[in-house]
Amino acid sequence: MPIERIIQGLTEFQDNYFSTHQEFFQLLSLKQAPEVLLITCSDSRIDPNLLTQTKPGELFVIRNIGNMIPPHGTLNSSEGAGIEYAVAALNIKHIIICGHSHCGSMKALLQLNKLNEDMPLVYDWLKHHGEPIRRLLKENHKDCDEAELLRIAIEENVLTQIENLKTYPVIHLSLGRKPPATQGEECLLRSILALDIFLKSFNSYTATTCYKITRCPKNFFAPVILL
């Protein structure tokens, strides 16, 4: 995509959309009040606002390679700072961890040693934060074929990050008030799945299933996959 297209898009936004929605953007300039923290992958195919059909100001978004959440205590974690700000300052009500199919970081995690020379920073990130997933796959799914292994890695990654999220003091402090409902979301782009929190398996989405899961009792971290 040529840079001229970006410049053209900015110009069209300024001349057309912005000029006809000035009151909306004026309100946004005064404050932000999102109710949802969405943590997802840096993959360019994932557009949080497009996928959820939300407007600017409705989602507080954290993105990185592999939608990973370093456990609390990790040095210089921008993810941790973002989580703390979202919960403590913005008082968000829901946390969604969004994984996706065809995830390049999960593919790389399955062939980690190949990254060491060409992409050392990516290698270090995945080795450090993806080791629990690698270990789980090695111990429990070593006989799976490549496609099945990738599918399992994507799902287990979402579950692992939910557990990491629970290590943050700001999350525990929020439990004394109204806790954010922690959810996990895996975008398959062409299909919809939901995570059954009791069976701990990914099944076809139904409105009833989603209704029950998202209305779990307070203080219960409900990993929900909304596809």
113-141 residues labelled b (16+ CB within 10 A) or e (exposed): eebeeeeeebbebbeebbeebbebbeeee
Residue keyed to tokens 């909306």: 24
Which one of the listed residues 5, 15, 21, 41 is annotated catalytic? 41
118 is in an annotated binding site: no
Q: Check if 103 is active-site.
A: yes
Q: Check if 128 is active-site.
A: no
Under DSSP, is residue 130 helix (H, G, I), strand (E, B) or coil? helix
State phi, psi for 122 to the nearest 5 degrees: -65, -40
Q: Check if 196 is active-site.
A: no
Which one of the listed residues 5, 15, 21, 43 is annotated catalytic? 43
43 is in an annotated binding site: yes
Which one of the listed residues 98, 103, 129, 187 is annotated catalytic? 103
Which one of the listed residues 72, 100, 129, 187 is annotated catalytic? 100
Contacts of residue 96, Cβ cutoff 8 Å, sequence gap at least 6: 36, 37, 38, 39, 183, 184, 185, 224, 226
Which one of the listed residues 45, 128, 141, 177 is annotated catalytic? 45
For the annotated binding site for Zn(2+), the residues are 41, 43, 100, 103
Catalytic residues: 41, 43, 45, 100, 103
For the annotated binding site, the residues are 41, 43, 100, 103
